[in-house]
A and B are shown apart, each in its own frame.
Chain A
Amino acid sequence: MSTTAAPRSLAYLAVALAVLGVAVAGDARAAGAATGALEQARAAFEEGRAAEALDAARRAVAAAPEAREALVVHAAIAEFVGELDEAASVYGRLERLFPDDLAVLYRRATFAVRVGEYDPALRRLDRLLAAHPRHVRWMFRWAPSLVQPVLLAVAPSLEHLVQLKVDVLMEKGALDEARRLARGYRLVEPGHDYCSEARAAANGRNREVTFQAFRRATLAQPDAPDCLWWYGQWLSDEGYVRLARLMVAEATRTAPSAASRDAGARYLRIRLGGAREVPKPAEQLLQIARQRLLRDGDAHGARRLLERAVALAPAFVRPHAYLARIAWDEGDPAAALGWLQHAVTTDADSWRSQRNLGRTLAALDRHAEAERHLRRAVELLGDDTGARLALARTLYAQERFDEYVEHTRDAVRLAATWPHDLTDVRAFLTNFERWGPSVTLPPAPDLRLSLGWNDD
């Protein structure tokens, strides 16, 4: 808890300035009738009432259909809440009305990435880079490392744009080109062992450091497939399914041993949907819905986006899990089961879907059905201590005590390599072995797994 402040994130500022700063300046005053609505949009956005902010922004545009600021705010909020079609339409209008406006160009470029239009996004980013003075670009590219911090302080947007371009190229599958660009702009230094640094960072708890380290290793060291593999797993937990698949696939392709190649192929199959393609808008809708649900507590808005993601990509099972969670939280277990069963039907090899369905059925005391799915989850990922404990519990509930003991012992053995506290589990097992069955069911805590297996 400190008492000082200093602005930092350019990405956040891009959103915040579009919605907050711009709304109270410039044309907003000239727009007259739009001003009040823009003010309301600003206030609602600031207070986290995004849907209300979007309504107000729509009213502002209705009052002043060609006012740049009203359109920027409308598009930015629509994008922020995941109304991608609406945002696309407003951005299109903005670009027609203000073709040379750099701020509009930047927002249009990032939006294009959001909906998977990689080549148009790259063209816009190139235009933005070209808008910087020639000598700044030259120095950014060729000046010695010593000068770079000064240069970045003078033109921070340059680095941001190049980094964004690198991300886009990677996501587009042009990994070699992304690496060339990163080397060309000195985002990574030749001969530097980022991979070792990344391994060290992964042991710490700073997510930012871990992310940056693995990303640099991916860009700088094509000969380090294990780092590529770790970056893919990190992205998988973050919800970047498309990029994660590309990274893991590349790591699998370049892995030196057959065992590594098998592990990579298995990860792609049971964690990333195998060969099922996920369109970028569907991935984004899921990620935005997740934030609306978890950060904003907006279950209604999240459900709409998730349903849209399912409609766009029926084979993409991650949204099903969130839809099930919303239904469960709303006291509708049948609907929750419906979503999870649909996920398992769509992708029987989805370890997460099997696990979720098994645990949900167990929570409804439908142990025999739960056992089938939990057993499948454990088959798919033997290291999943939480699923194994849940399986042991369902077996106990069915009075198949020998199997309960066997799976619980396996789970305890697995957990020994982790700093997991299974005191309750061990105590229950000891009591069972000494006194026989109890009237209560054994505990089955859901334990965190290694990187790449925890979040959808």
Chain B
Amino acid sequence: MHAVLPAAVVVVLLGTVALAPARDVSPETCRLLGVAGLARPLPACRFEAAAGQAIDAGRRALADGDLDGALARFREAAAHAPARVEAHVLRGGVAQALGGLDEAYAAFATAVRLAPSPAHHVMLGALADRLGRVDVAVQALEAGYGAWGNHAFAAAQVGAAVLGVCVASAWPNVPAILWTCPAEVRRAGERAFGASSEEVPEYVLRILVEARRDGDAVALARRRAWIRDAGDYCAAGEQVVSPTTAALLAMLLAPERADCLVDIGEQLADDGLPRLARRALADRAARAGDLGLRARAAHLLRHRLPAHDVAKVAESLNLAASRLASRFGKHDTALAVYQRAIAADPAFSWPYHNVGRLYLDRKDPARAADWLRRALAVNPHHWGALVNLGVAAYQLERYDEALAAYRRALEMEPEDGRTHANLGWTLLRLGRRSEGLRALQAGVRLDPSLDRERAYLDAAFGTDVRRGPTPFSSR
């Protein structure tokens, strides 16, 4: 018996070596063979080792912020070891960050094929959504809801943290600890469990609403038990879903009480998601019960969003480029991705505007102004482009042009303190001091955070004692 077992192991190992195709060997197999000293002669394991080195190099490049270098290394790793899931996941992630949506999609699809875990399905689903492939996205995300145990673990982590804080803040009042902490822990745990388990389904709902598949969205809500009999989705009570999902449910199921959707629509626009924002705000512009909110929704729709439903790929590329520029500081790569967004939807003014902002950040106001004018040519109601055109013109010392831009921007958003302030500085430059000071004053009144303007006015007129009766309280 003792002699049979090692012999069997040797036979299995030799069989593995003999049967292994050139590259399709899992890392686990190579590790097993490595223990037995048989990995070296096997070509597949040599590739596996090279893949491991490429992944390490890619991670180092990533840590250094070298996204292109990292992508090259991960591609190399995936080519060396096509069965290595990690290589595909990393390649997909970096390709996505660099705006290579098709490559990322292929990489995540391979990862799902090799290891169909919930996490990989979510990656694939999100990518499919960015490419506008709604059915694939929904299908993949539905397979990514995750197991009960994962959500329970997330809830337990939050519960432990809340318990720690609760005990520390109530200590040494033991009765209070015994009385209040368990309830707080339970509430936090329930919230965390809900947030974890509903996160992916909520994403599916957003995709369905954006794709105007309202029937499917309502069916999903019903399956997830999100429906509230009272229809009070906009009420700030305990809800298992996020405020965004609640507002979208209100739009679908209780449109007469869905005015919280206006704020959500504005938030979505600020988050770089014009398609869903447009859906939300167009609904409120047509159906809001409060006439003021209806006007606000129409205003946001006109001045903060493109005039049409932009192509999904263009929206995704614009967002990817924006993250490249702001999060990774990759301005040149971002410029290239913005160009691809423009190619995907030439009537979408945001990428033109973002290129303009990028050039403003690079202290190149001439090019910035050029791109901002292009944005305005595509959408003359683009408020942000107008304001930044004012900034660029000011930097170019073309004060008349800056003045005209700010004035038009203020016609669109009369209560924007910063634009008033910018108008004020421009008027001061033009020697129109009293008008300039008035505009600065209006800016500071509307936006108390304008410290520089306030300091300028305080130096000119003394601290505004109307803010408070003593030296400290007046500032």
- Could you tell me how many residues of chain B have their Cβ less than 8 Å away from some Cβ of chain A? 44
The smallest beta-carbon distance between B113 and chain A, in angstroms, is 45
Distance, CA A206 to CA B461, complexed state (A)? 15
Cβ-based interface call for B116 (8 A): no
Give chain B residues whose Cβ lies under 8 Å from the Cβ of A9. 448, 454, 467, 475
Are B469 and A114 interface neighbours, CB within 8 A?
A: yes
Of the stretches A290-298, A351-359, A382-390, A432-440, the one at the interface is: A290-298
Cβ-based interface call for A337 (8 A): no
Are A294 and B461 interface neighbours, CB within 8 A?
A: yes
Please list the residues of chain A having a beta carbon within 8 angstroms of any beta carbon in chain B.
1-3, 5-9, 11-16, 46-48, 79-82, 110-111, 113-114, 135, 160, 163-164, 166-168, 171, 206-208, 211, 215, 235, 237-240, 243, 284, 287-288, 290-291, 294-297, 455
Q: A48-B441, A164-B472, A167-B470 are in contact. List 7 more A-B contacts (CB 8 A).
A: A14-B467, A168-B470, A207-B459, A288-B465, A290-B462, A291-B466, A295-B441
Are B475 and A164 interface neighbours, CB within 8 A?
A: no
**Which residue of chain B lies nearest to A206 when distances are taken between CB atoms in the complex?**
B455
Cβ-based interface call for B411 (8 A): no
Please list the residues of chain B having a beta carbon within 8 angstroms of any beta carbon in chain A.
169, 387-388, 391, 394, 415, 417-418, 421-422, 425, 434, 437-438, 441-442, 445-451, 454-455, 457-475
Q: Among the interface residues B455, B467, B472, which one has the most CB atoms of the partner chain A within 10 A?
A: B472
Are A291 and B461 interface neighbours, CB within 8 A?
A: yes
Give chain B residues whose Cβ lies under 8 Å from the Cβ of A111. 469
The smallest beta-carbon distance between B76 and chain A, in angstroms, is 40
Give chain B residues whose Cβ lies under 8 Å from the Cβ of A215. 471-472
Are B461 and A295 interface neighbours, CB within 8 A?
A: yes
Give chain B residues whose Cβ lies under 8 Å from the Cβ of A11. 467-468, 472-475
Given the contacts A1-B425, A46-B415, A207-B459, A110 and B466 also touching, CB distance less than 8 Å: no
Give chain B residues whose Cβ lies under 8 Å from the Cβ of A297. 434, 438
Distance, CA A240 to CA B465, complexed state (A)? 9
Are A295 and B469 interface neighbours, CB within 8 A?
A: no
Are A235 and B471 interface neighbours, CB within 8 A?
A: yes
Distance, CA A297 to CA B388, complexed state (A)? 30
The smallest beta-carbon distance between A401 and chain B, in angstroms, is 37
Are B461 and A16 interface neighbours, CB within 8 A?
A: no
Are B442 and A48 interface neighbours, CB within 8 A?
A: yes
Are A16 and B448 interface neighbours, CB within 8 A?
A: yes
Are B448 and A13 interface neighbours, CB within 8 A?
A: yes
Q: Among the interface residues A79, A215, A237, A295, which one has the most CB atoms of the partner chain B within 10 A?
A: A295
Pick from B417, B445, B448: contact of A8, CB under 8 Å:
B448
Are A113 and B446 interface neighbours, CB within 8 A?
A: no
What are 26 A-B interface contacts by the 8 Å CB criterion? Answer: A3-B391, A5-B447, A6-B449, A7-B449, A8-B448, A11-B474, A12-B448, A14-B467, A15-B466, A16-B448, A46-B415, A81-B466, A110-B473, A160-B473, A166-B472, A208-B455, A239-B465, A243-B471, A284-B465, A284-B469, A287-B462, A288-B466, A294-B461, A294-B462, A295-B461, A297-B434
Distance, CA A3 to CA B454, complexed state (A)? 16
The smallest beta-carbon distance between B462 and chain A, in angstroms, is 6
Distance, CA A235 to CA B463, complexed state (A)? 10
Are B461 and A290 interface neighbours, CB within 8 A?
A: yes
Distance, CA A47 to CA B457, complexed state (A)? 17
Given the contacts A48-B445, A295-B441, A164 and B471 also touching, CB distance less than 8 Å: no
Are B422 and A1 interface neighbours, CB within 8 A?
A: yes
**Which residue of chain A lies nearest to B421 when distances are taken between CB atoms in the complex?**
A1
Are B461 and A207 interface neighbours, CB within 8 A?
A: no
Give chain A residues whose Cβ lies under 8 Å from the Cβ of B388. 3
**Which residue of chain A lies nearest to B452 when distances are taken between CB atoms in the complex?**
A2
Given the contacts A110-B468, A135-B169, A295 and B457 also touching, CB distance less than 8 Å: yes
Number of A-B contacts (CB under 8 A): 121
The smallest beta-carbon distance between A142 and chain B, in angstroms, is 16
Pick from B446, B451, B470: contact of A46, CB under 8 Å:
B446
Give chain A residues whose Cβ lies under 8 Å from the Cβ of B438. 48, 297
Distance, CA A8 to CA B464, complexed state (A)? 16
Distance, CA A398 to CA B408, complexed state (A)? 56
Give chain A residues whose Cβ lies under 8 Å from the Cβ of B462. 237-239, 287, 290-291, 294, 455
Give chain A residues whose Cβ lies under 8 Å from the Cβ of B391. 1, 3
Distance, CA A124 to CA B424, complexed state (A)? 40
Given the contacts A48-B441, A48-B442, A238-B463, A14 and B471 also touching, CB distance less than 8 Å: no
Are B418 and A3 interface neighbours, CB within 8 A?
A: yes
Distance, CA A2 to CA B417, complexed state (A)? 12
Pick from A8, A47, A164: contact of B470, CB under 8 Å:
A164
Are B471 and A113 interface neighbours, CB within 8 A?
A: no
Distance, CA A294 to CA B468, complexed state (A)? 18
Give chain A residues whose Cβ lies under 8 Å from the Cβ of B474. 11
Distance, CA A215 to CA B391, complexed state (A)? 37
**Which residue of chain B lies nearest to A111 when distances are taken between CB atoms in the complex?**
B469
Are A207 and B455 interface neighbours, CB within 8 A?
A: yes
The smallest beta-carbon distance between A293 and chain B, in angstroms, is 9
The smallest beta-carbon distance between A229 and chain B, in angstroms, is 16
The smallest beta-carbon distance between B87 and chain A, in angstroms, is 40
Distance, CA A208 to CA B422, complexed state (A)? 22
Distance, CA A111 to CA B468, complexed state (A)? 9
**Which residue of chain B lies nearest to A8 when distances are taken between CB atoms in the complex?**
B449
The smallest beta-carbon distance between B438 and chain A, in angstroms, is 7
Distance, CA A47 to CA B466, complexed state (A)? 16
Give chain B residues whose Cβ lies under 8 Å from the Cβ of A110. 468-469, 473
Give chain B residues whose Cβ lies under 8 Å from the Cβ of A80. 466
Give chain B residues whose Cβ lies under 8 Å from the Cβ of A243. 470-471
Give chain A residues whose Cβ lies under 8 Å from the Cβ of B455. 206-208
**Which residue of chain A lies nearest to B437 when distances are taken between CB atoms in the complex?**
A295
Give chain B residues whose Cβ lies under 8 Å from the Cβ of A168. 470
Give chain B residues whose Cβ lies under 8 Å from the Cβ of A208. 455, 475
The smallest beta-carbon distance between B388 and chain A, in angstroms, is 7
Distance, CA A171 to CA B466, complexed state (A)? 17
Are A167 and B446 interface neighbours, CB within 8 A?
A: no
Distance, CA A160 to CA B422, complexed state (A)? 30
Are B448 and A7 interface neighbours, CB within 8 A?
A: yes
Are B465 and A287 interface neighbours, CB within 8 A?
A: yes
**Which residue of chain B lies nearest to A9 when distances are taken between CB atoms in the complex?**
B448
**Which residue of chain B lies nearest to A237 when distances are taken between CB atoms in the complex?**
B462
Give chain B residues whose Cβ lies under 8 Å from the Cβ of A2. 418
Distance, CA A171 to CA B470, complexed state (A)? 9
Give chain B residues whose Cβ lies under 8 Å from the Cβ of A211. 471, 475
Given the contacts A80-B466, A238-B462, A290-B461, A167 and B473 also touching, CB distance less than 8 Å: yes
**Which residue of chain A lies nearest to B468 when distances are taken between CB atoms in the complex?**
A11
**Which residue of chain A lies nearest to B441 when distances are taken between CB atoms in the complex?**
A295
Distance, CA A207 to CA B455, complexed state (A)? 8
The smallest beta-carbon distance between B267 and chain A, in angstroms, is 16
Give chain B residues whose Cβ lies under 8 Å from the Cβ of A294. 460-462
Q: Among the interface residues B388, B441, B448, which one has the most CB atoms of the partner chain A within 10 A?
A: B448
The 4 closest A-B CB pairs, nearest first, are A167-B470, A114-B469, A287-B465, A11-B468
Given the contacts A1-B422, A48-B441, A207 and B468 also touching, CB distance less than 8 Å: no
Distance, CA A171 to CA B467, complexed state (A)? 17
Distance, CA A295 to CA B443, complexed state (A)? 12
Give chain A residues whose Cβ lies under 8 Å from the Cβ of B415. 46
The smallest beta-carbon distance between A297 and chain B, in angstroms, is 7
Are A240 and B461 interface neighbours, CB within 8 A?
A: no
**Which residue of chain B lies nearest to A112 when distances are taken between CB atoms in the complex?**
B469
Are B394 and A1 interface neighbours, CB within 8 A?
A: yes
Distance, CA A243 to CA B441, complexed state (A)? 27
**Which residue of chain B lies nearest to A280 when distances are taken between CB atoms in the complex?**
B469
Are A291 and B469 interface neighbours, CB within 8 A?
A: no
Distance, CA A7 to CA B391, complexed state (A)? 22
Are B467 and A12 interface neighbours, CB within 8 A?
A: yes
Given the contacts A8-B449, A12-B448, A16-B448, A296 and B441 also touching, CB distance less than 8 Å: yes
The smallest beta-carbon distance between A373 and chain B, in angstroms, is 25
Give chain A residues whose Cβ lies under 8 Å from the Cβ of B459. 207
Give chain B residues whose Cβ lies under 8 Å from the Cβ of A166. 472
Distance, CA A114 to CA B445, complexed state (A)? 21
The smallest beta-carbon distance between A279 and chain B, in angstroms, is 13
Distance, CA A228 to CA B394, complexed state (A)? 43
Distance, CA A112 to CA B472, complexed state (A)? 16
